[in-house]
A and B are shown apart, each in its own frame.
Chain A
Amino acid sequence: MYTTPFDYHRAVNLDDALKMLADNPDAKLLAGGHSLIPTMKLRLASPSALIDISALDELRGIRTDGDMLILGAGVTHAELLYDKTVAEYAPLMPDMARWVGDPMVRNRGTVGGVVAHADPAADYPAGLLTLGASFKLKSAGGERVVGVDDYFKGMFETALQEGEIVTEIHIPRQAGKGAYEKFRHPASHYAIVGVAALASPEGVKVAMTGAGPKAVRLTQVEQAIGSDLSDENIKSATENAVDAGSLLSDRFASAEYRAHLAGVLAKRALMRVK
């Protein structure tokens, strides 16, 4: 399948990319291309120009600053999955990365691309909500850092403004056990429902993706759990815990089935963090 024609620009550095983005409001950034290219092939997107940021060193590295893990937006799913620093600082990230697509998708797709695209069926948003991540967004005019609670707005909707690039993902060092459980679409591997759980000294956090228009914290489950991670309490806190009301219904799964799955996956994830 051919996409519509476009001009191709390979950015030489971040400033170059920011300038091109500011000058071409109709252009799109191309990172791993694993959401954008399929969308363009289906002609659901037809940008006049692509600005390729996939080769930018400035977006690549994985580093730490005190207790903060800092991922460049261009870090691939495979890099997240196999990196030692990530495994030490935020083991919940590779526990999600192993679920993303397949090895070929993981070699190209990037964490920044997931954050920017905000696909309702993406995996990371669930874990990023429990970890309290934040995102550095840069534009030609400056930069700002937005916390995860204020960042994901809706289906494919985020706080990202025109002309801004996600440059870094900041993840506070994980202070307890984390786990991600997923029921995936058998062909695409996207999440039909995914649930992340994190048990830290601050309390237990649980978040769900795939089921609704955007990833959300399951506060009702968190409150029912409190700090009691006994088998009985996990069971009662997750059974029928999710209301189908606001969930997605499509040809893959009804809202009721998604609600049921969310309870089951929350139970499995919580059993792993106790």
Chain B
Amino acid sequence: MSLVPVTININGTPTPAQVEPRMLLVQFLRDELELTGTHVGCDTSQCGACTVSLNGEAVKSCTLFAVQADGMDVQTIEGIGSMDDLHPIQAAFWEQHGLQCGFCTPGMIMASAEIIRRNPDPSEEEIREQLGGNFCRCTGYHNIVKAISSAAAVMREKGAEAGQAADD
């Protein structure tokens, strides 16, 4: 089986590579690019630990071949914020104790971004329902839900400030 040339825009950097068609996006990220923040929890499409954003939408990178992402934008946990400048969702997970072992956290954060993108002011019930594809074996979800509510509030405020600044 021949290798296929692809260029995937990973965290803002166009990344050319030759991939075997059967290589999953998650394997490409972890094994080829050493972006090991994206985890593999189940490999059967159910746990959400491998969640990344593809052209702005959250997807399970274990259920997508890397070739399918040719020409597209992929954002991983490594691209969402930095140690000096945490993304509001990362900050909220820290402040609200939204993690224990941290295994599910990268996927949780990428899925949280999707929840807030779809509805900037989600109710607790909605957050719980929309987290149906992300499993956490430690926290009991309670603080994850709190973290997402609190991140959404911070992001709404920032959005309002940005809107205000644009109006001024």
Residues of B within 8 A of A7 (CB): 1-2, 21
Which of A3, A34, A82, A108: most chain B CB closer than 10 A?
A108
Residues of B within 8 A of A78 (CB): 57
Interface pair A105/B65, CB less than 8 Å apart:
no
Assess A33 versus B133: contact at CB under 8 Å? Given A6-B22, A103-B115: no
A28 within 8 A of B: no
Chain A stretch 99-131: residues in CB contact (< 8 A) with chain B: 101-105, 107-108
- Residue from the list A3, A5, A41, A108 in contact with B44, Cβ < 8 A: A41
Check A34 against B45 for contact (C-beta < 8 Å). Answer: yes
Q: Are B111 and A50 in contact (CB under 8 A)?
A: no
A34-B63 in contact (CB<8A):
yes
A37 touches B20 (CB 8 A): no
CB distance from B120 to the nearest CB of A (A): 14
Minimum CB distance partner of B21 in chain A: A8
Kindly list chain A residues whose C-beta atoms are within 8 Å of the C-beta of B111: 103-104
Query: Do B114 and A103 touch across chains, with their CB atoms under 8 A apart?
Result: yes
Q: Given A102-B130, A103-B133, A104-B133, is A38 in contact with B21 using a C-beta cutoff of 8 Å?
A: no
| B interface size (C-beta, 8 A) | 32
A38 to B1 CA separation, bound complex (whole angstroms): 21
Q: Is B36 an interface residue (CB 8 A)?
A: no
CB distance from B123 to the nearest CB of A (A): 15
With CB as the reference atom, state the residue of chain B lying closest to A184. Answer: B132
CA distance A33 to B69 in the complex (A): 13
As a 0/1 sequence over residues 54 to 94 of chain B, the CB contacts with chain A under 8 angstroms (1 = contact) are 10011110011101101000000000000000000000000
- Chain B residues with CB under 8 Å of A188's CB are 46
The answer to whether B63 touches A5 (Cβ under 8 A) is no
B150 within 8 A of A: no
Contact indicator A101/B63 (Cβ below 8 Å): no
- A30: chain B residues within 8 A (beta carbon): 68
Evaluate contact between A52 and B68: CB separation under 8 angstroms.
yes
Alpha-carbon distance between A3 and B2 when the two chains are bound, in angstroms: 15
Within the complex, what minimum Cβ distance (angstroms) separates B53 from chain A?
A: 10
Report the separation of the CA atoms of residues A10 and B21 in the bound assembly, to the nearest whole angstrom: 11
Shortest distance in angstroms between B59's beta carbon and chain A's nearest beta carbon? 5
**A139 CB, nearest partner CB in chain B, Å:** 24
Assuming the contacts A38-B45, A103-B118, A105-B60, asked whether A5 and B132 have C-beta atoms less than 8 A apart, the reply is: no
Residues of B near A42 (CB, < 8 A) are 44
Least CB distance from B19 to A in Å reads 9
* Contacting residue for A187 out of B4, B46, B64, CB 8 A: B46
A102-B133, A103-B114, A103-B115 known; A5+B20 contact, CB < 8 A: yes
Chain B residues with CB under 8 Å of A6's CB are 1, 21-22
> Which residues does chain B contribute within 8 Å of A4, judged by CB atoms?
22
B51 CB-CB contact with A under 8 Å: yes
Contact B133 A108 (CB under 8 A): no
Contact: B65 with A1, CB < 8 Å?
A: no
**In whole angstroms, how far apart are the Cα atoms of A188 and B51 in the complex?**
16
Chain B residues within an 8 Å CB radius of A8: 4, 21, 65, 67
| Given A33-B68, A50-B21, A104-B51, 10 more pairs with CB closer than 8 A | A6-B1, A6-B21, A33-B64, A33-B65, A37-B65, A82-B118, A102-B134, A103-B111, A104-B111, A107-B58
Listed in ascending order, the chain B residues whose CB lies under 8 Å from chain A are 1-2, 4, 20-22, 43-46, 48, 51, 54, 57-60, 63-65, 67-68, 70, 111, 114-115, 118, 130-134
Give 24 CB contacts A-B under 8 Å.
A1-B43, A6-B21, A10-B70, A30-B68, A33-B63, A34-B45, A37-B45, A37-B63, A42-B44, A78-B57, A82-B118, A101-B133, A102-B48, A102-B134, A103-B111, A104-B48, A104-B58, A104-B111, A104-B114, A107-B54, A107-B114, A108-B63, A187-B46, A189-B132
